[in-house]
Amino acid sequence: MFELKSPVHASKREHYEDLVQQARGLLAGERDPIANAANFSALVYHSLPELNWAGFYLFDGTELVVGPFQGKPACIRIALGRGVCGTAAQTRETQLVRDVNAFDGHIACDAASQSEIVVPLVKTDGSLLGVWDVDSPVIDRFDEDDRAGMQALCAVFMEAVRG
Ligand code: SME
């Protein structure tokens, strides 16, 4: 059985480095994207402080559809270009939103969410798998260390599902 480790970290960067190693171990040897997305969501949600939602929106060829996640029930479908998730999917750039109330078009699935980070998941052939979305009830929860850390975690996920 996989055991979540919660050692004390000297810094946020160190915490992400540890989390990347844990994600590698958790996903090793499994390519199924749904299985890996479910475990990945649980790992991140239960390892990082001050989160109220962490999960996937998967691209079905037309729009984003909610996938495995941890947190309260969420909006099911998001059009490309809409909200923070749709913007990340369309621009293929990580969206770091320090205050969702100031983001024009933000989709409030959970009224508790105050800040958000969304990483686009792009396959090696350039096509879109979906996005990785993490919400916090705290304004300004995410910074550049979170951007780098979340992107590194998503790289582990993409590598695992690629096989
Ligand atoms: N806030 C997101 C919608 C998804 S929920 O946060 C789970 C957005 O604006 O795209």
- Atom index in ligand 1 nearest the CA of residue 85 equals 10
Residue 2 pLDDT level (bands cut at 50, 70, 90): confident
Sequence-distant (6+) residues with CB within 8 A of 16 are: 145, 146, 148, 149, 152, 153
With the most atoms of ligand 1 within 8 angstroms of its CB, the residue from 56, 116, 132, 141 to mutate is 116
Of 83, 81, 107, 99, the closest CA to residue 137 belongs to 99
Ligand 1 touching residue 160 (CB < 6 A):
no
Average pLDDT, the chain: 95
| Residue of the CA atom closest to atom 3 of ligand 1 | 107
Ligand 1 close to Cβ of residue 146 (< 6 A):
no
Q: Residue 88: exposed, middle, or buried by beta-carbon count in 10 A (0-12, 13-18, 19+)?
A: buried
Q: How many whole angstroms from 83 Cα to the centroid of ligand 1?
A: 6
Over the stretch 75-106, which tens digit does the pLDDT of each residue have? 999 999 999 999 999 999 999 999 999 999 99
Which domains, and CATH codes, for the chain? Answer: 12-162 (3.30.450.40)
Cβ atoms of 70 and 53 closer than 8 Å: yes
d(C-alpha 132, C-alpha 115), whole Å:
14
Alpha-carbon torsion angle 92, 98, 104, 109, nearest 10: 90
3 pLDDT above the threshold of 90: no
